[in-house]
Structure 1
């Protein structure tokens, strides 16, 4: 991700992402700014089926078996903790002449918003 053209204005740079007036590089993919028509944030909701299932099994164990109530309580607690710890992901979604692409994914919404702002600024800068 080294800057080869010294005339390029850099809008954002970190170890994974590089945004200039003419290109957007993430990982091993490069997108040219002239092909990007818009950029938005997209939320990917992670499945919460597993923790819900474990919690329901725990509740059923408590009501069905008096000998296994401790296990049922433990499953309920584990299910609730697991549910709380699940975080949704966010993506940088770019629209190009090839369609829409989720180009970068992170659980850190602020990080994604910084990159989107940089890409938007690069698009505006190009005119």
Structure 2
């Protein structure tokens, strides 16, 4: 008798079945997962804001104007390029863990929904 697992999500990075949540780095047993949610990992913007403000202050001086423009532009570009990350936050009997991390919120949401479906299927 063959015991076929139900697959809730599968791609090159993640596989979610009724009994396992498998990533490239780790495998979680579904019976150990009590809940799952989408978690936002906010990136620090301190360096970018420092470069922007320091650059704007340097623009005031005649001799430092070019350096100030460059610093302000670098700070501004970095401010818009660096994005927050999202994770599949897993709660289990051993605590919280980030099961998978990506900058793509919709992708992480798909994984979270699939893990939730697998938890419900498990009963």
Q: Tell me which interval the TM-score lies in, with the shorter structure as reference length.
A: over 0.9
Shift of residue 60, structure 1, vs aligned partner: 2.0
Identify unmatched segments of 5+ residues in structure 2. none
- Cα offset for 1:113? 0.3
- Correspondence for 2:25: 28
Residue by residue over 1:78-119, the C-alpha shift from the partner in whole angstroms, topping out at 9 and shown as x without a partner, is: 211110111000000011110111111110000100000110
1:88 to 2:92 alignment = no
Which of these residues, 58, 66, 73, is aligned with residue 69 of structure 2?
A: 73
TM-score, with normalisation over the residues of structure 1? 0.90
Count of aligned pairs between the two proteins = 122
* Cα-Cα RMSD: 1.3
Q: Secondary structure at the match of 1:110?
A: helix
TM-score after normalising by structure 2: 0.93
Runs of 4+ in 1 over 2 A off after TM superposition: none
Q: Give how far 1:40 is off.
A: 0.4
Provide the C-alpha distance between the structure 2 equivalents of 1:30 and 1:78, rounded to a whole number of angstroms: 40
Q: Which residue of 1 aligns with 2:96?
A: 100
Name the structure 1 match of 2:50: 53
1:113 — aligned with what? 109
Question: Where in structure 1 are there 5+ consecutive unaligned residues?
Answer: none
